[in-house]
Structure 1
Amino acid sequence: MLNFLKKKIALIWAKKHVRNTEEFKQNPQKKQEELLLSFIDTAGKTLFGREHDFENIRSIEDFQARVPISDYEDLKPYIERMKKGQANILWTGTPEYFAKTSGTTSGSKYIPISKEGMPYQIAGAQSALFHYIARKNNADFVEGKMIFLQGSPELEEVYGIKTGRLSGIVAHHIPNYLQKNRLPSWETNIMEDWEAKVDKIVAETEKENMTLISGIPPWLIMYFEKLIERHGKKIKQIFPNLQLIVTGGVNYEPYRDKMEDLLGGKVDIVQTFPASEGFFAFQDDYTREGLLLLTNHGIFYEFVPLEEYGKPNAGRLTLKDIELHKDYALILTTNSGLWAYSIGDVIRFIDTKPHRILVSGRTKHFTSAFGEHVIAFEVEEAVKATLEQFPAQITEFHLAPQVNPGEGLPYHEWFIEFEKTPQDMESFRNELDEQLRKRNTYYDDLISGNILQPLQITQLKKNAFQEYAKSQGKLGGQNKIPRLANDRKIADLLKIYKI
């Protein structure tokens, strides 16, 4: 009876929530400008606001004229003052939290989250679940146990400001109605050794009625493989009532075949796009690709055409200006005090009614040693198309340029860990090269002009990427190995794992 009531209430809440979101989906441009101006008004007396003449900002154009695009290094002097307890620097008061992330160029980053910003992190995830319940007319998963593969919820303090990984911070804000069914235990969650932690999670969950599992794909796969190794069964045999997987952090599509194989049965997937800086989008239509951009969740968005990104006079577009199927660097202004902040993600719009996006790459993750500027979306689509032609399966890959080969022309070197190796590797290689040429005309021109030779594949042993991540102290949490690089720093380290 209690479970029946929980499901009934969840369905009512979900359908009401989806109805209430229709306005922002249909009329986002006006709301976005109102949102920005409300931020300007709130932060007018802050140090940043005084330095950038917030008092005289009346429009988006005024804002863009006074506030340049920034990255973490630009905002770091302000954040360092906030870390020392100073108030009214980027936002009113002091942050409620710092989300600590690993930066490749800046060391650890401390992303401020204000008391106004934190509820939107929770609301984004909550909205994703409510949309799922309403669209499917099914809330059965609330009956069982739920697991969130995440960082430690144990937080340190920096001058009185609680600090930790975003996923650990969010763990303190899980709604009460979900807490009772939530796993793993606190003692397991605070473990720092990721391999030991996953082993403990397996032990705590393997005999439970698991109905919802959440995490980034590489770590879901690691968890599932350990379960299968222990039981000799697919995941749907171990957890027959598993209904839903919520995932984010990286593009799910390259992992889909591997996940489906491990699951061994139908499980619904909801993709999300969260980050320490905000919760940006989630999948609300399960019949197609694309994530609903949240335009009413404490974030004002700008979009810089990727070909202009980093240039002095790069265009700064808003929702009314964007074109479909074009790549843009994502720029954020948030109610936690990030102003015209480049998060480093590249997106493309696939719809405007409502606005739906694909995450197509990272501004710093590309291969362009020869001027080709190959991005993640292109290589992932090339992989997907190639796998449709071959009975093969890829666990993970990394692409790097080989500028100075021992002999012959330069080339793109793909380091691939196969779950299932293609029988004809040469045909697989040729097809992959052809698929990438179809998606990037500059790469095609370089091959046609005999500037590059077709790509080469270096096959890696099983668990190579896990071993590499472990060797770099990057195993677990939200750590992700870049799939593309413009140098050979990662490639040279991966070579030790080749078959």
Structure 2
Amino acid sequence: MGFRSFLSKPFATYVVKKQKEWANNPSLAQENVFNSLIQGANHTAFGKDHNFGDIKNYEDFKKHVPICDYEDLRPYINRIIEGENDVLWKGKPEYFAKTSGTTSGAKYIPLTKDSIPNHINSARNAMLNYIHETGNADFLDRKLIFLSGSPVLGKSGDILSGRLSGIVNHHVPGYLRTNQMPSYNTNCIEDWEIKLEHIIDETIAQDMSLISGIPPWVQMYFDRIIERTGKSISEVFPNFDMFIYGGVNFEPYRKKLFDSIGKTIPSIETYPASEGFFAFQDTQTEEGLLMQLDSGIFFEFIPTDEYFNDNPTRLRIDEVEIGKNYALIINSNAGLWGYSIGDTVKFVSKDPYRVIVSGRIKHFISAFGEHVIGEEVEKAMKHALEVHSEVKITEFSVAPQVNPTDGLPYHEWLISFENEPHNIEEFSLTLDHKLRELNTYYDDLITGSICRTLVITPLQREAFQHYMKSIGKLGGQNKVPRLANDRKIADAIIEWKK
């Protein structure tokens, strides 16, 4: 046993003990965060504009602070970039996490001295929970690879800016730096395909035990190693026994990824974003991710069916219900207020509060009033892959076809297959039947002959990689939207039709 694994166990015990204290008192934890946030931003420009001095409780807060998106906060962000202090949070941010918005152009999400521990400690605690539960810490003593964006930072005004994963790379604890891979120079390469080859060069002969990254890009890393060596990943890395992931639903990728490894290994799911690290998998035996209720973020939840209302219901953590979809709203010590991050979550437990990420509030198909969401198409795909065990997919996306050249409208599933179905018509029907079971409105469309059953369009194996490269988003933390209510993405991806 190495010193890292040896020291991690008592530290894990301490962290989990402290975690249970606030998890057993979730309302109090959130109330303490709320009061701290209001006090911390009382004298900021945003606080003055929204009467923070008059806010005594959550009901007051809702009266003074509206739900907003990035465009609503952009004037405040611009003031920070221009050099102003005490705008959204006391002082100035340490960094801006730069992201690419679909309609807003570049977004600059503030990270403050007070908010950075949320990102770093939550990632650390995800591993410590696993160590505490299983007693397995040996993976800390070998090589660890984090597939992330470039750590090279620019400046927005006088604030350092870059990709979140690159910023976090500068804050990796010292005790992990000596076995962290890839090297700093390789991590700085911007071109994903060139970077990937360098990562393989550096890691292929190492004693790798942990790999962390977004599943489709990890799969690309695995594919290239298998092409080079002709071996499974577990043959190349015999001590590889921990996979940490986040950013997308793992289920569509699970079968192919573990087939590439050559065995099933333990995994930890996380829920990070530029705006905060919201939850992580705290146990291997229960569904869902533990909400981080004591980490500088006060959470609000809007029932998804009210999200686009003029005055939607806003709920605290103690007011949510299990099994219902909510839009996630955050208020944080990064200076985000009433901020809709665009995700939807569903609670699977209230003791403690655990969620699954069910989709994106703006990623849905409702061309005919059906409002199919990401969770439903992913469940349908998971079911179809279980029924048709020979099938492996690389990626998929769904879009409506409202004006087909002939016949009734339909949902088009654009799928890159690793292994195609023996019978694609039967695979299509399995998908369609499951989706009809999950969404009664969609079932009504089929039953009422408003739409026909879904249509699968097979794509080239690397179609989605080609698409992401074509829009300058290959690799790193970028993700393909699972579904859309228009054909902008579908019509672009279909260029790589098989």
TM-score (norm 1): 0.99
Structure 2 gap ranges (5+): none
- Is 1:34 equivalent to 2:32 in the alignment? yes
1:395-410 paired onto structure 2 within 5 Å? 395-410=394-409
Partner of 2:98: 100
Give the equivalent residue in structure 2 for 1:139. 137
Displacement of 1:6 in angstroms is: 2.7
Q: Which residue of 2 aligns with 1:325?
A: 323
What does residue 226 of structure 1 align with?
Answer: 224
Q: Aligned letter for 2:383?
A: A
Distance of 2:28 and 2:148 partners within structure 1? 36
CA distance in structure 2 between the aligned counterparts of 1:335 and 1:414, rounded to whole angstroms: 41
User: Partner residue of 2:444?
Assistant: 445
Q: Which amino acid aligns with 2:410?
A: Y
Query: Is the contact between residue 414 and residue 458 of structure 2 (CA under 8 Å) also seen in structure 1?
Result: yes
Match of 2:240 in 1: 242
1:402-458 CA deviation, whole Å, 9 max, x = no partner? 000111111000001111100111111111100000000110111111111100010
Which of 60, 65, 68 is residue 67 of structure 1 equivalent to?
65
Aligned to 1:190: 188
Q: Matched residues in 2 for 1:162 and 1:436: separation?
A: 45
- Structure 1 counterpart of 2:3, one-letter code: L
**1:347 matched to which residue of 2?**
345
Q: Distance in 2 between matches of 1:370 and 1:260?
A: 38
SS at match of 2:29: helix
| Residue type of the alignment partner of 2:87 | I
Report the residue type matching 2:429 in the other structure. Answer: N
| Conservation of the 8 A alpha-carbon contact between 2:2 and 2:138 | no
Show the counterpart of 2:261.
263
Q: Residue in 2 aligned with 1:23?
A: 21
Q: Could you tell me how far apart the structure 1 residues matched to 2:392 and 2:145 are?
A: 27
| CA–CA distance in structure 2, aligned partners of residues 283 and 345 of structure 1 | 18
Letter in 1 for 2:322: L
Residue 466 of structure 2 is matched in structure 1 by 467
Q: Secondary structure at the match of 1:356?
A: strand
Q: Given the alignment, which residue of 41, 44, 57 partners 1:43?
A: 41
Amino acid at match of 2:206: E
Q: One-letter code of the match for 1:397?
A: F
Q: Distance in 2 between matches of 1:7 and 1:486?
A: 48
Deviation at 1:159, TM superposition (A): 2.3
For 1:167, the equivalent position in structure 2 comes to 165
Corresponding residue of 1:315: 313
TM-score normalised to structure 2 length: 0.99
1:209 paired residue number: 207
Task: Return the alpha-carbon distance in structure 2 between the equivalents of residues 470 and 6 of structure 1.
Answer: 39
Q: Cα distance, 1:160 vs. partner?
A: 2.0
Q: In structure 2, the residue corresponding to 1:388 is in which secondary structure? A: helix
Which of 151-160 and 194-203 deviates more? 151-160
Summarize the alignment of residues 428-443 of structure 1 with structure 2, pairs less than 5 Å apart: 428-443=427-442
Q: How many residues align?
A: 497
Contact 2:81 2:158 in 1 (8 A): no
**Is residue 287 of structure 1 aligned with residue 289 of structure 2?**
no
The match for 1:157 is 155
User: What is the CA-CA distance between 1:5 and the residue it aligns to?
Assistant: 3.1
CA distance, structure 2, for counterparts of residue 281 and residue 435 of structure 1:
29
Measure the CA separation in 1 of the matches of 2:353 and 2:433: 32
> Which residue, out of 67, 72, 84, partners 1:86?
84
1:95 counterpart letter in structure 2: P
Superposed displacement of residue 266, structure 1: 3.0
Task: Report the Cα offset of residue 7 of structure 1.
Answer: 1.8
Aligned to 1:478: 477
SS of alignment partner, residue 129 of structure 2: helix
The equivalent of 1:12 in structure 2 is 10
Quote how far apart the aligned CAs of 1:148 are.
Answer: 0.5
Distance 2:264 2:450 in 1: 46
2:170 aligned counterpart, secondary structure: helix
Tell me which of 365, 368, 371 is aligned to 1:367.
Answer: 365
> In structure 2, what residue type is equivalent to 1:467?
H
Alpha-carbon distance, 1:45 to partner: 0.8
Alignment partners' CA distance in 2, 1:387 and 1:218? 17
Secondary structure of the structure 2 residue equivalent to 1:111: strand
Q: In angstroms, what is the RMSD of aligned CA positions?
A: 0.9
